[in-house]
Chain A
């Protein structure tokens, strides 16, 4: 017995021998719903956002260390691969933010009926994608403009 909860799964057959009682059905018996994807995506986005924040510490620590370290970080943020990573971090942060707001709304007792949750799901996806695209394009645009101004 690995877990104390396993104690509840031990049952007896009519002849007295012990058996492991079946578990209730899990994911595979349910039709796919957007809300089930959005729920696990929020958890995954939280982990991704945390991982990105850990990497983001490199930026502030390099700035604290000096110009040499900072130019190394700038090589990563100037590289298309690094920028894709940053865009992924932004997506995770924005979605975790949006889903977190939904959770706070639910906790306050609003928008928690099945109909309302199904209505809000696609809106959350739209807001996440739109905000992420606007943020990434905006930040990249400002960065390019500023470096061009410096070069000229």
Chain B
């Protein structure tokens, strides 16, 4: 249809709207999909966790440690913790985008990401410690 030699408009967007910095930021679709994908993954993980809560309700610390030392439980708990806080970060970012305007927007998002990252890392380290400390203690007791 269009002659490639003839100058023509390839971007359906006015130069004024570009200068104002409005319109697509290009990262929205990836964010949207990440939120959906993590939500879908959290559906079976949450179901698994509810079953574990029933198994562990009223349990003592040694019982929880024994539970946490099983590789399957460690894998599921790590997936649950990482995806929960990843999904949290995505959701809170949308809330910040909606309600925090102007100069405060960037620092608010970075602060939130920092806090959620540390919380997720804390959960990950706790699950790993439960898993690895439990198995070594078992070995010492056996030997």
Q: Mark B88-115, 1 if CB is under 8 A from A, else 0.
A: 1001100100000110000000000000
Residues of the B chain whose Cβ atoms lie less than 8 Å from the Cβ of A97:
43, 46
Residues of the B chain whose Cβ atoms lie less than 8 Å from the Cβ of A57:
81, 119, 122-123, 126
Q: A residues bordering B, Cβ < 8 Å? A: 2-5, 7-8, 43, 46-47, 50, 53-54, 57, 60-64, 66-67, 70-71, 93, 97, 100-101, 103-104, 107, 135, 138-140, 142-147, 150
Q: Could you tell me the dominant secondary structure of chain B's interface residues?
A: helix
- Smallest CB–CB gap between A69 and chain B, Å? 8
A67–B61 touching, CB < 8 Å? yes
Q: Provided the pairs A4-B20, A53-B85 are in contact, do residues A61 and B122 lie with their beta carbons within 8 angstroms?
A: yes
In the complex, A2 Cα to B36 Cα: how many Å?
32
Q: Could you tell me the dominant secondary structure of chain A's interface residues?
A: helix
B61–A135 touching, CB < 8 Å? no
A146–B57 touching, CB < 8 Å? yes
A60–B130 touching, CB < 8 Å? yes
A60–B126 touching, CB < 8 Å? yes
Whether, in the assembled complex, B76 has its beta carbon less than 8 Å from a beta carbon of chain A, the answer is no
Residues of the A chain whose Cβ atoms lie less than 8 Å from the Cβ of B85:
53
- Smallest CB–CB gap between A86 and chain B, Å? 10
Listed from nearest, the 6 A-B pairs whose CB atoms lie closest are A143-B58, A146-B58, A70-B61, A143-B57, A61-B126, A64-B129
A64–B68 touching, CB < 8 Å? yes
Residues of the B chain whose Cβ atoms lie less than 8 Å from the Cβ of A103:
39
B62–A104 touching, CB < 8 Å? no
Chain B, interface residues (CB within 8 Å), range: 35 or more
A147–B58 touching, CB < 8 Å? yes
Chain B residue with minimal CB distance to A140? B57
- Smallest CB–CB gap between A129 and chain B, Å? 17
B window 42-82: CB within 8 A of A: 43, 46, 50, 53-54, 57-62, 64-65, 68, 77, 81
- Smallest CB–CB gap between B119 and chain A, Å? 5
B46–A104 touching, CB < 8 Å? no
In the complex, A135 Cα to B53 Cα: how many Å?
10
Chain B residue with minimal CB distance to A69? B61
B36–A104 touching, CB < 8 Å? yes
Residues of the B chain whose Cβ atoms lie less than 8 Å from the Cβ of A64:
68, 126-127, 129-130, 133
A-B contact pairs, 12 of them (CB 8 A): A4-B20, A5-B101, A60-B81, A63-B64, A63-B126, A66-B61, A67-B60, A93-B46, A100-B39, A142-B54, A143-B57, A147-B58
Chain B residue with minimal CB distance to A44? B95
- Smallest CB–CB gap between A106 and chain B, Å? 11
In the complex, A101 Cα to B58 Cα: how many Å?
30
B61–A71 touching, CB < 8 Å? yes
